[in-house]
Structure 1
């Protein structure tokens, strides 16, 4: 079940569609088109007496739900016999994903169409990506590895996009592409969740990591009494056995 659902007012969008002779109730019957084949110049809405074209988004619902957990920055392994305190965390940019194909060529045009439709239907702005930068000083027991994990709130648009090209009274093209668009974003009391992940490292795994730190340009690095490696690697190696502690309020106090 979604954390939150919002329903749009499509009055203005439906008026735009009807102004060029498109019945919003018939969108589902239009042929499906790959949006990557739409030329960037054909996305902005242009309506004249003679020729009209553009891409119009018409959404059914915007859901908010958690996205996939994302490990931030570096993980730290304590190789001493005592608990130590170290800073974990880092930066990560999370962008937009879709259930349909969007090429790099039309990406800017697509984001423009999404932004306009969200502004019109939901009275909101739309960001195609968000950069997270979170750090926390944590105590790490001997023989344990710790890293910071983000569970971002994602806005999920579910709806249709109509692509048309009209010459006089005749449609040269009248197509649609439909599906989900996901991008980070919170609303109201919703917030991204940050957790410290902590897992025991076996002597065998620690030895393998120490050996890896001796290679050329290693991802694993020896730093005195600790070993560090990308948190995404730590999550892959130890995620199933790691204990999780919610530290959202510590990292982002109200």
Structure 2
């Protein structure tokens, strides 16, 4: 009787262990999710939109992007970064109908998209309109700068209104210590959803006219990103070295930037100070 009970207990224990092993194996298979692909049609608008980096929670740096509508969707246009569709080069002013392979990633990166796209063929490409060309003007004084309709208006703030530099060229903006090469005059986008010019590309800055306290010449610069111009573009090396080497401690130099859009039209004027420490 005792032997039978012991064997029965061993058998039950064995069944329990087998069930656990089977469950773990099943869970392991579920964890190893596989990518799933399907072929869809996708429409690309001739117009562009605005999107924000996944880490740009405050919407400080809007970026121009494509507007796309997927087969099987609700017909709405959604934003998609340029270069997202592998093998596809977007040209402004054209609308497209594409055949693409859409892959849903089984294990997507934490900071990336759930999907990848690969161009199979361009079904349709039609020219809709020419991109608006920049307006060429000769600017000798601030009064010569043409402004966009409804401007100047308040669209941007300067994140660090004062930037300091010491005799060795070390730069401090806020609590950030940077080099002359990589310091940026950071701009923050102030408009909110519902504002008149919110997310309109022609009311976003792509450059500026620089009004320097040390030069009568007004220079035109282009931003490398929507985040604002690099300091080295605003203040040329020779001018920066003059402040670094010859200015007295406590001297402050006020720079004004007339922000312009892609057409070269003014949006607003912002300013910041470069102070010698």
Q: TM-score, length-normalised on structure 1?
A: 0.25
| Bigger Cα Rg | 2
Structure with the higher fraction of residues in strand conformation: 1
Larger RCO (alpha carbons 8 Å, 6+ apart): 1
